[in-house]
Copies of this chain bind each other. A is one copy, B any other.
Amino acid sequence: MGISLPLTEQREMSAEIPTDPDRARYPQYGRYLDELEPGQVFEHPRGFTFDTANMLHFARTHMQANPLYLNAQYARAHGFPDLPASPQMVFNVTLSLGVQNDSEKAMANLGYYQVQFVRPVYPGDSLRAFTRVLERKDRGPDKPGIARIRTVGVNQHDQVVLQYERKIMVGWRGDRLPTTPAPEVSLEFPGEHSPMVELPLHDAPAMAGLTGPNTYCDDFSPGDIIVHANGRTITEEHMALTYLVGNSHPLHFDRIFSSGLSGKMSGEPIVYGGLVFAWLEGLASRDVSEHALWELGYTEGYHTQPAFAGDTVGALTRILAVDDAPGSGDYGVVTMQLIGVKNISAAAALDKHGGDLFVKEDAKRGLGKEKITDKIFEIERRLLVRRRTA
C-alpha cells in the first residue's frame, strides 16, 4: 500500500509537442432536455465536507440569528452533540452538488417542492447527492421543456439528510455539443417515504437569555404578518459564495457567459437563488425562528425575479398555521410564508402592495391581478418552535 514517486527535474516540453487545434475537445456539463430521461439516476460529483467554520461562515454571511447555528454552547445545552449545520446550508449545498448533472444547462429553476430535512448534519460530515428524473414535459420542438427531478442528500453513513423535488426549464440540445456522461451510480437511489426526524432535544429550556422573549411558538397565530426591519445589500461576494456551496452554473460567476446570453437573463451574473433564499431566511430569523430547533421543510418555493450584485433584499413573513408538535407539549409546529422583495424596504413593500404580496405570483393572472416586480421570492416553511411554557 502506498506509492513512492521520485521527483525528477521537470523538463520543458511544450515546444516539442505539435499543436493541432483540431485535436480540441470541449467538455460540457449539465443536460439538455433530450438527455434527460424519466427514471434516470445521477450520482453527483465531488461531495462536500461540512466543518464548524464553513457552517458558521454560511450562517453569519446570510444574517442568521438563531443561536443554534452560531453558538456551540447553546446547541449542546439544547441536547445536540455539536453545532448542527443550518438546514438552509444543507439545502444550498445539496442542490448545488446536483447542478453539474441536473441544471448546468437549465435556463431557469422553476420551483422547490417537498423539501424535507431528515437528519442533522454536524462538523466533519461529508455529504453527497443523487437525483432521479421523475418527469419530462415537452412543449414542442421550439420551446424549452420542463423536467421534474427528485434529489436526495446523504451523509458518509449513507443516511438521508435531505430530500426534495425541483422543476427546471431546459432547452433542447439541437446541434449543440452533447454533455459529458455521468459515472455509474454507486448506491441504490436513496430516499425515505415516511421519514421520521429524531432530534436529541432536552426537555428543559436552556440559555433563554440568548433569544428574545416574544418569539416563542405561543407568540404566533395564523394570519400574523411580521415585517422584518433590516435589509441586506448583496455585493459581488455572491460569485464566490456560489461555488463555496458547490454550485457550478456559470450564470452566477462568469460574466462572459451571462453577458453572452440572449433574453432577460443576459447581462450581469445572476445571484444563485439558494443564496437569495438564505439571505431572506436570515433576515427573518430573529423575528420568527430564533427559538426554532428544527426546520421540517419547505414547499412551493419560487424565485419570481432574479437578484444581482447591488440589489438590497428584504423579507416579510406571514404565519399560516400553528400546530401541536406530535408527542410533545414543549414545542409547536409553525407553518409560515416567507416573501422576499428587493430595492424597497419590507415595510414600504407592504404599504405599496398590501395583501397581494402574499398571493403566489403564478396565481396572479387567474385572479386578475398584476405581478409584483418588487417581489423576488415566495415559499412556505414549517418549523419546530419551542413554547414559552417549556
Tell me which of B5, B60, B298, B359 contacts A10 (CB under 8 A). B298
Q: How far is the CA of A187 from the CA of B210 in the complex (A)?
A: 12
Q: How far is the CA of A10 from the CA of B149 in the complex (A)?
A: 17
List chain B residues, Cβ under 8 A from A235: 236-237, 239-240
A-B contacts besides A2-B200, A43-B210, 16 pairs, CB < 8 Å? A3-B201, A3-B384, A4-B326, A5-B197, A6-B194, A6-B195, A7-B196, A13-B380, A14-B300, A14-B320, A14-B378, A47-B73, A53-B54, A71-B128, A230-B248, A256-B344
A74 within 8 A of B: yes
- How far does the Cβ of A256 sit from chain B's closest Cβ, in whole Å? 5
A345 within 8 A of B: yes
A262 within 8 A of B: no
B213 touches A233 (CB 8 A): no
List chain B residues, Cβ under 8 A from A230: 248, 250, 253-254, 257
Q: How far is the CA of A18 from the CA of B198 in the complex (A)?
A: 34
Q: List 20 A-B contacts (CB under 8 A).
A: A2-B79, A3-B331, A5-B199, A7-B297, A9-B114, A17-B222, A17-B321, A19-B223, A19-B225, A19-B355, A23-B224, A61-B244, A63-B243, A100-B286, A183-B209, A230-B250, A230-B257, A233-B254, A237-B240, A257-B345
Q: How far is the CA of A300 from the CA of B228 in the complex (A)?
A: 36
